[in-house]
Amino acid sequence: KAAEKGGYDYFMLKEIAEQPQAIADTLRGRLAETGEITLDEVRLTDQDLRDVDKVFIVACGTAYHAGMVAKYAIEHWTRIPCEVELASEFRYRDPVLDRSTLVVAISQSGETMDTLMALRHAKQQKARVLAICNTNGSTIPRESDAVLYTHGGPEIAVASTKAFLTQLAACYLVGLHLAQVRGVMYADEVAAVVEQLRGTPSKVDRVLEQMEPVRELARDLAEAKSVLFIGRHVGYPVALEGALKLKELAYMHAEGFAAGELKHGPIALIDQGTPVVCVVPSARGRGVLRDKVISNIQEVRARGARTVVIAEEGDDGVARYADHLIVVPPTPTLLAPLVTTVPLQVLACEIASARGHDVDQPRNLAKSVTVE
């Protein structure tokens, strides 16, 4: 077992460390010399993809958070309306589906029953289904019309880490492929984003090299009653994922919010010393969002919160709002979750271990849930 963990105390730490490689493996060989993105097993024609007039993403748990990020990217790049839905809710809602609907099922294991049932429902309604999956030959990809494997390698820890980042990378590829096939983006524009994507593994490496302050912070937060996470745009699903990791591993109350929603209720939770983890968007690109999150941080601080701020290196204006500042390398807005999620994974893992929990085998959870 110790050898399998490659010198790490937990599989989860090993898998967190493998993330740069895992992202690179997801991206490898996808870009043809012509600039075209190639997927794995696509039993759909380009015409099928051109006919798509709506995208539904279905998934559970961490994969659902990947889907939430994907919605921002897919709509932005393809201009096709895109919804993301918890797989366990999907079919019971009787969604409007037809042959021009593309359903994207995201699943690490490829065996999650809720996601499989959502996929089967979509197929009965004649929708096309594309799976994003880490497990070759598993049920979800076998029953789908197309598959993009994440090639992230086996994930042993129950709480998902590298699978999440590779799902993000795969979702970006799907968005870019759709945009290209439909003529919304030119090959050179796609290639430019792929280049940025190819730069993300080394950024994740840099984040991992700077985790000592996060470990110290974890010891500090280990006794907190509750930890809140806020973000906007793609930082919102990152906040949800940070909170989910903490629930799963540390058994602590943790909640993620869209920072703009704070004033509509959650701000009432803030008390003297409440830790609030704030994911700050890039100052470049969508600077407006960054400024809005800064004012949200000021609001929670004014009510006594202790702020943990995740921000870009070089965003010098944020330090004074941060009781703890964690910096990540500058990354284009839509791709930023690939770097901003990483400190939150480490934080949850370290808090759980400080509280004496088995990080790899959290109570009550299963790696793959094959019942509805």
Q: Note the residues at the interface with ligand G6P (CB under 6 A).
A: 60-63, 107-109, 112, 115, 158-160, 365, 367-369
Residue in 290, 296, 169 with CA at minimum distance from that of residue 229: 296
CA–CA separation, 350 and 217 (whole Å) = 9
Give the shortest CB-240-to-ligand G6P separation in angstroms: 12
Residue closer to ligand G6P, measured from CB, 139 or 353? 139
Residues near 260 by beta carbon (within 8 Å), at least 6 away in sequence: 232, 292, 296
Residue of closest CB approach to ligand G6P? 61
Give the shortest CB-320-to-ligand G6P separation in angstroms: 36
Give the shortest CB-164-to-ligand G6P separation in angstroms: 8
In one-letter notation, the amino acid at residue 35 is G
Dig out the tokens for 24 from the structure.
């690179």
Dig out the tokens for 222 from the structure.
């280990």
Residue in 197, 201, 194 with CA at minimum distance from that of residue 31: 194
DSSP bridge partners of 253: 226
Residue closer to ligand G6P, measured from CB, 112 or 282? 112
Residue closer to ligand G6P, measured from CB, 179 or 344? 344
Helix 337-354 and helix 200-209, axial crossing angle in degrees, nearest 10: 30
Burial of 220 (0-12, 13-18, 19+ CB in 10 A): middle
Q: Maximum CA pair distance of the chain?
A: 58
Beta strands in 100-145 (DSSP E): 101-107, 128-133
Map tokens 């943790």 to a residue: 254
**DSSP 8-class letter at 231:** E
Instruction: Give the other-Cβ count within 10 Å of 26's Cβ.
Output: 26
Catalytic residue among 5, 247, 292, 367: 367
Residue closer to ligand G6P, measured from CB, 112 or 341? 112
On the CB side of 21, CA atoms within 13 Å amount to 8
Give the shortest CB-328-to-ligand G6P separation in angstroms: 23
CA–CA separation, 31 and 36 (whole Å) = 6
Give the shortest CB-236-to-ligand G6P separation in angstroms: 18
Strands 101-107 and 128-133: parallel
Whether 367 is a known active-site residue: answer yes
Give the shortest CB-369-to-ligand G6P separation in angstroms: 5
Contact 338/203 with Cβ under 8 angstroms? Answer: yes
Give the shortest CB-121-to-ligand G6P separation in angstroms: 16
Burial of 269 (0-12, 13-18, 19+ CB in 10 A): middle
b/e map 333-353, b = 16+ CB within 10 Å: bbbbbbbbbbbbbbbbbbbbb
Point out the residues that are catalytic.
367
